[in-house]
Structure 1
Amino acid sequence: MADLTAVEICAGAGGQSLGLELAGFDHALAVELDENAVNTLRKNRPHWDVRHGDVADEAVWNPKEFPDVDLLAGGVPCPPFSIAGKQLGATDERDLFAWAVELAGKMQPRAVLLENVRGLSMPRFSAYRQHVKDRLKDLGYWSDWKLLHASDYGVPQLRPRFVLVALRNEDAPWFEWPEKTPYEGTVGDALFDLMKANGWPGAKAWRKKANDIAPTIVGGSKKHGGADLGPTRAKAAWRDLWVDAMGVADSPPDDSVPSDFRPKLTTEMVARLQGWGREPEYAWEFTGRKTTKYRQIGNAFPPPVARAVGTSIANALNRKGQPKDLSEVEDEVMHDRLYLALKNAPAALTERELVKLSGEKIDSATFERRMATLARDFVIDEDDQLGGRAYRLVGFKGFIGQEGHERHTRFAEMRSQIS
């Protein structure tokens, strides 16, 4: 395999970093905002160039320094799209997805890999996804999105992640999404050796009770309190697995603990459920106190999943296998037809004209709802005309690097709470 290089933005504590390294990518740079995660990256890979700060601040790093990189990768912030949040999308000061696409335009890497939460795959963001895909096409990239579950790639946890891969048109025919290699086992199987490490007599019985894969681990943010394993529904799922989800333990239970005890997980156990530490090549050490360690682990992209996707990208860049028709490669075509009608309209159009142009069969109430959703991410002018109210798409509200964008002010105000 040829030597390949990567620049990773929003690198976190290194889940994607380790996976990409195992897939054959050498890191030319990793950038991360959270100081604890930066310390973890530097501890595990002291020879890497790891920068600490706002990834959109050119005082932290200058994209022009990395013109020939093979891969631009990152796990840009999730809260703008999280189902558990307000889904502010382009108007969230943490949203860097569209900015990362523009960054690809500046750097011109051969490939792009961006991952985020399942919420980005929802109908709420269909136009946002279409905007990203269209912009990448303008920049000379073929792209595709796919919802991947960590359990399909050897990780004992459900953890759905929405992944975008983009490649230059000349490399894209060699890309194919990785084949599934499902995890065969349960939480009990994955953690048994760690749970019995201090001599707990209930470890064997607990292994039988923890008889399914884990629900999605939630890392949380600085806005919330100490570490626990997620919201109410997740806690109920953990309870069914005979795990106390109300916090994280300092160590496994010992021989003084009753056999029927419901244990909490340690950070080492949580890391195992994220794909770290199962084999020597997945060894990783986390810095900081317990809660900061848990957040680093819980917010990560599981290394085996990153490795699988990274290997598929590396194979394409190295022209491994047989080229394919791109229509055979593409998993899901994003078409928000009402957004496209607005985007392609030669002038302001009325509801009737937009509906006709889009080809959709929707009533006025549905049209109004859809337009209200579009207005959350896009600037839409409305003008009353003789034929009715007319609409015109003016621009995108998201941050793409503008110096005067309000993102800078909001980001500065919220800096201490962003993680």
Structure 2
Amino acid sequence: MVKINERGRGKFKPAPDYTIEDVKRILMEKIAEEIDTVVEDESDFTEQEFKYKTNKFNVVSLFCGAGGLDLGLELAGLEVAVGTDKAMEAFKDKEKYDSLRHESVFHHVYSNDIFKEALETYQKNFPNHVYIHRKDIRKIKSFPKGNIVLGGFPCPGFSEAGPRLVDDKRNFLYIHFIRCLVQTQPEVFIAENVKGMLTLGKGEVFKQIVEDFAAAGYRVYHKLVNARDYGVPQIRERVFLVGIRNDIDYKYEFPKETHGIGKGLLPFVTLKEAIGDLRDNPGKYYKGSYSTIYMSRNRKKRWDEQSFTIQASGRQAPIHPDGLPMKKIDTNKWIFPDGEENNRRLSVKEIQRIQTFPDWYQFSDGNNMKISENGRLDKIYKQIGNAVPVLLARAISKPIAEWVVDYLNNPNKYIKKEDKKSNQNAIQLELPV
């Protein structure tokens, strides 16, 4: 797809059949444009403002949103510190969790985003020592140091759910994630994105992204995973990239699936297990009619299944399992046999559970009474839908957490001094450092 200068849905037109060379040229042009957006002004902070801990792996979080990836990482770090049973039991209760979370091997230092309500949510749920920075990442001159950098960089241009634009400027915000890596050289990074990034531009976009992360001085491991394979009651495929700095003698391996069909696997978690107890008290949910596009496919799962992917929109939330299944009556046309009045979208509390946030996690709607209740609720749906499911983040982070325990006790065991790479690896990107 390409974007033309028109309003409305007609602004997107089929793209020409780009060759791989065309895609490469477009990518390099857009990367250069993105680098030019960096504002060379004074930094917003000094290193003295950050609360580092020398006996922890200090965390810098970019595009942090409501904190799903951050919370999962912290939970994995707590699990290796105090044991799985104790960590998971505490996770159910805010008071218990807050009393233990400082024992995690991960210590959050800095988090950045531009989504006001998401940062309010983050602040409600993370310790007050975290420096929360609301600023466009393209205007940050220098980044704080850390041992691990996290980030689910924005993905609308990659998503298969909308217009897939090779030259969408949102595809290139990852360059600023790489700027952070080049400047601060953390031992590890974790990045997450949608499945669609694998195939956009005949695969050249993803290839370029991996090459750029590697050029910052990292061995990059990547894998497409499904959240339901790790105990999340949702069919949600996402790509993770894990980078280990070149001078670190550690090979990351993605965790094996824990749930599924087969020997040694736990059963998939169902909607009934996840939200069945909320049937009589679901809380607030997005109300309104269903568009032709919404009704063009099935939006309803059974109680014994996993949810469709939770999207960043209240209007696009899946339908609650109660009542009759939706029925297909024509090509791209489904109906509710028992009527719209007997069906509703999943509530905020329900999608929070499906994204495996604990019940105690508080979400901010901005408290702006000038907009409708639907509008305020939509801000929460957006935060939850954009987040990495907490238990998926925990699973991806767990191998790193286990390694960190040993690394913190004996870092020299893992440093290959003779092979250490410097920022010269990023010269090909011409990144400001």
Deviation at 1:309, TM superposition (A): 1.2
Q: Secondary structure at the match of 1:56?
A: helix
The within-5 A match list for 1:124-143 is 124=201, 126-143=203-220
The within-5 A match list for 1:217-256 is 217-220=310-313, 227-229=314-316
- Is residue 268 of structure 1 aligned with residue 361 of structure 2? no
* C-alpha contact (below 8 Å) 2:137/2:176 kept by paired residues: no
Q: Secondary structure at the match of 1:314?
A: helix
Which residue type is aligned with residue 126 of structure 2? R
For residue 100 of structure 1, what is the aligned residue in structure 2? 177
* C-alpha separation in 2, matches of 1:271 and 1:243: 24
Q: Match for 1:299 among 386, 396, 401?
A: 386
* C-alpha separation in 2, matches of 1:180 and 1:19: 16
Which residue type is aligned with residue 22 of structure 1? L
Q: Secondary structure at the match of 2:250?
A: helix
* C-alpha separation in 2, matches of 1:147 and 1:292: 28
- Is residue 39 of structure 1 aligned with residue 120 of structure 2? yes
Gaps of 5+ in 2: 1-53, 78-105, 260-266, 284-299, 328-338, 366-375, 408-427
Q: Match for 2:132 among 28, 33, 50?
A: 50
For residue 28 of structure 1, what is the aligned residue in structure 2? 109
The within-5 A match list for 1:7-406 is 7-24=60-77, 25-47=106-128, 48-58=130-140, 62-63=142-143, 66-67=144-145, 69-89=146-166, 91-93=168-170, 95-122=172-199, 124=201, 126-171=203-248, 173-182=250-259, 184-197=268-281, 209-220=302-313, 227-229=314-316, 261-277=342-358, 283-288=360-365, 289-319=376-406
Which residue type is aligned with residue 53 of structure 1? K
* C-alpha separation in 2, matches of 1:133 and 1:106: 18
* C-alpha separation in 2, matches of 1:209 and 1:123: 32
Gaps of 5+ in 1: 200-206, 221-226, 245-257, 321-394, 404-419
TM superposition score normalised by structure 2? 0.59
Change (3 A) 1:6 1:263: same
Deviation at 1:85, TM superposition (A): 2.7
* C-alpha separation in 2, matches of 1:76 and 1:125: 20
Which residue type is aligned with residue 244 of structure 2? L
Deviation at 1:129, TM superposition (A): 2.5
Deviation at 1:177, TM superposition (A): 0.7
The answer to which of 179-188 and 263-272 deviates more is 179-188
TM superposition score normalised by structure 1? 0.61
* CA deviation string 1:347-405 (max 9, x = no partner): xxxxxxxxxxxxxxxxxxxxxxxxxxxxxxxxxxxxxxxxxxxxxxxx98xxx8679xx
Change (3 A) 1:113 1:30: same
Deviation at 1:115, TM superposition (A): 0.4
Deviation at 1:77, TM superposition (A): 0.3
* C-alpha separation in 2, matches of 1:56 and 1:241: 48
* C-alpha separation in 1, matches of 2:204 and 2:345: 42
Change (3 A) 1:57 1:125: farther
Which residue type is aligned with residue 115 of structure 1? E
Change (3 A) 1:169 1:401: closer
* C-alpha separation in 1, matches of 2:345 and 2:217: 49
Change (3 A) 1:208 1:158: closer
* C-alpha separation in 2, matches of 1:216 and 1:15: 15
* C-alpha separation in 2, matches of 1:135 and 1:41: 29
* C-alpha separation in 1, matches of 2:211 and 2:323: 44
* C-alpha separation in 2, matches of 1:117 and 1:275: 18
Which residue type is aligned with residue 184 of structure 1? F
* C-alpha separation in 2, matches of 1:89 and 1:10: 21
* CA deviation string 1:90-126 (max 9, x = no partner): 5424631233123211110101111011001116352
* C-alpha separation in 2, matches of 1:149 and 1:54: 30
CA RMSD of aligned residues (A): 3.4
Q: Secondary structure at the match of 2:172?
A: coil
* C-alpha separation in 1, matches of 2:326 and 2:352: 15
* C-alpha contact (below 8 Å) 2:301/2:321 kept by paired residues: no
- Is residue 6 of structure 1 aligned with residue 45 of structure 2? no
* C-alpha contact (below 8 Å) 2:151/2:190 kept by paired residues: yes
* C-alpha separation in 1, matches of 2:131 and 2:310: 29
Deviation at 1:265, TM superposition (A): 1.9
Identity between Structure 1 and Structure 2 (%): 29
Which residue type is aligned with residue 154 of structure 2? P
Which residue type is aligned with residue 11 of structure 1? C
Deviation at 1:144, TM superposition (A): 1.4
* C-alpha contact (below 8 Å) 1:12/1:300 kept by paired residues: yes
* C-alpha separation in 2, matches of 1:303 and 1:198: 21
Deviation at 1:131, TM superposition (A): 2.5
* CA deviation string 1:264-287 (max 9, x = no partner): 321000100111126xxxx31101
